[in-house]
Amino acid sequence: MTSDRPPLTRLSEEELLLQSSVLEFAQTHVAPLVRTMEEEKKIRPELIQKLFELGIMGTEIPEEYGGSGSSFFSAILAVEALAEVDPSVSVLLDVQNTLVINTLLRAGNDEQKARYLPKLASEWVGSYALSEASSGSDAFALKTRATKVEGGYELSGEKLWITSAGESSLFIVFATVDPSAGYKGITAFLVERTTPGFEVGPKEDKLGIVASSTCPLLFDKAFVPEANVLGPLGLGYKIAIETLNEGRIGIGAQMLGLAQAAFDHAKRYVAERSQFGRPIKDFQAVQFELARLRTKIEAARLLVYNAARLKDQGAPFVTEAAMAKLFASEVAEEAASTAIDLFGGVGFTREYPVEKLYRDAKIGKIYEGTTNMQLSTIAKQVLG
């Protein structure tokens, strides 16, 4: 299936090539596995290895560490393209680049970068562990404790809803070294999967993106050496805020790709489906629905691309990232719902792909900052 996009003159030839290459990869290597991975509730390991071989798992990692040495915007284009085929695979790529690698590039010291970036570019999946039962939108109400011991820290507590945890070898974990200091006691740690006292819990049984693993993390005096403290003590909150602002652009890209996929499926189906002696695409009501949807998808694309460009330029982008995630997640849900409406009864069955997109779209309004959190960020900027 080809994507119905106008010529994207706002992309350079290199960016267009990247986007088309990733989309072609997804159609060739991901599409045949989508139904199987959905049923198995697991991303195939051989597919993850192909993502590494393609070079997009380490998009922003400098070439000296084995990465592609490309831009944040390039990572966003790859996330969008993968989401047009399977949002579950797309979010694995998204977390790897916009959260894990970005955090290491910004907050890691030279030794940490040399130790972990080559692995993240070639074989290791990474996860970002902030959320807990008591800290969702109130992200810094976390209770995981880091206790100072000889040579490092012992982590105790539980993290919830950690994306890609089933596949990950490296986890960026946020814990408090001083509960009395509130958010100023929060510190980030690099935790390897094989750390004694650390365990990845069972996968959550989810509504959508079911092939993407979402698991709790359990810490029982898990020892983390001093060398694995990421950034200064007590500044984990700052690292988390900066990273999540970037991550919201990635979720916007994922939802954008999903919306585009729903539109493409619907456009193809209305040309094939006939009622009253003619294709349903000839009915004005159908035409107007697709026209409105196409306009909203293009608006979402411009918001996502603009936020990513601003981030790469070093310009302020927090409000733009919130707008991109807010609008793209709304459009994705609308696009998937509209596609099911246009498919009619068959759209409600799992035989056709739009039912999956409808379930996958719902998470866009929830993770990496709910819709209300994005509205709050935008309102603060609007109202000063």
Averaged pLDDT, 346-370: 96
**Residue keyed to tokens 């995630």:** 325
Cα 339 versus chain centre, distance: 23
Q: Which residues pair with 125 in a beta bridge?
A: 168
202 burial (CB, 10 Å; 0-12 / 13-18 / 19+) is: exposed
What is the number of helices (H) and of strands (E) in the chain?
Answer: 12, 10
Confidence of residue 135 (pLDDT cuts 50, 70, 90): confident
Angle between helices 13-25 and 45-54 (to 10 degrees): 160
Q: Which pair of structure tokens corresponds to residue 305? A: 């691309």
Please provide the distance, in angstroms rounded to a whole number, between the alpha carbons at the two ends of the chain: 46
DSSP character for 281? G
The tens digit of pLDDT for each residue in 62-119 reads 999 999 999 999 999 999 999 999 999 999 999 999 999 999 999 999 999 999 999 9
Q: Contact at 8 Å (CB) between 298 and 7? A: no
Q: Give the separation between CA 252 and CA 371, rounded to whole angstroms.
A: 12
Q: Contact at 8 Å (CB) between 128 and 162? A: yes
Confidence of residue 384 (pLDDT cuts 50, 70, 90): confident
What lies within 8 Å, CB to CB, of 69 at 6+ separation is: 60, 61, 62, 63
Q: Give the separation between CA 281 and CA 274, rounded to whole angstroms.
A: 8
Q: Give the separation between CA 44 and CA 361, rounded to whole angstroms.
A: 21
Amino acid (1-letter code) at residue 251: I
Polymer length of the chain: 384
Q: Which pair of structure tokens corresponds to residue 380? A: 């603060």
Q: Contact at 8 Å (CB) between 360 and 208? A: yes
pLDDT at 2 over 70: no
Q: Which residues pair with 200 in a beta bridge?
A: 217
The tens digit of pLDDT for each residue in 275-306 reads 999 999 999 999 999 999 999 999 999 999 99
Sorted by where each starts, the structural domains of the chain and their CATH numbers stand as 13-124 (1.10.540.10), 127-235 (2.40.110.10), 238-383 (1.20.140.10)
Report the percent of the chain where pLDDT is more than 70: 98
pLDDT at 8 over 80: no
366 burial (CB, 10 Å; 0-12 / 13-18 / 19+) is: middle
Report the percent of the chain where pLDDT is more than 90: 94
Amino acid (1-letter code) at residue 145: R
Averaged pLDDT, 236-246: 94
pTM for the model stands at: 0.95
The tens digit of pLDDT for each residue in 310-331 reads 999 999 999 999 999 999 999 9
Q: Which pair of structure tokens corresponds to residue 19? A: 């986007």
Q: Which pair of structure tokens corresponds to residue 351? A: 């035989």
Nearest of 291, 297, 305 to residue 77 by alpha carbon: 305
Q: Give the separation between CA 170 and CA 180, rounded to whole angstroms.
A: 29
**Residue keyed to tokens 């107007």:** 288
Radius of gyration of the chain (CA): 21
Q: Give the separation between CA 170 and CA 159, rounded to whole angstroms.
A: 14
Catalytic positions are 368
12 burial (CB, 10 Å; 0-12 / 13-18 / 19+) is: exposed
